[in-house]
Homo-oligomer: A and B are copies of this chain.
């Protein structure tokens, strides 16, 4: 069981949204931030670096946006309805842009394939949490 889930299970407040959906989203956001940070490092060591500039820029953006979204989602309370939902929306869009670009290099570079997968999973997780929040 991930730490995100363990921590949610001992949260003193009652959540409106199913804790397993929240925890899965936080885990996906963390995984995606990590994959993007690593993909930048990997890209910087490749021979065809000049082909990978757009990929690097988008991975840097995606890592930053996912890290902020993970923290805000972790802290989620009744107060931040104005913040969490639109931030998840932006994060899903960022993950989509990043996975599309990584995908283009997936055949050439295994690390871009793995990163594209992490971004797609994260986009899906953000959308699932938004759907669960709407129902709540």
Contacts and interface: CB of A to CB of B under 8 A. Distances in A.
Contacts of A89: 86
Counting contact residues on chain A (CB < 8 A from B), the size range is 35 or more
Contacts of A3: 31, 34-35, 38, 114, 118
A57 B60 CA distance: 12
Nearest to A38: B7
Interface string A57-68: 110110011011
The binding surface of chain A is classed by DSSP as helix
Interface string A72-111: 1011110110110011011001101100010000000111
A125 interface: no
Contacts of A71: 37, 60-61, 64
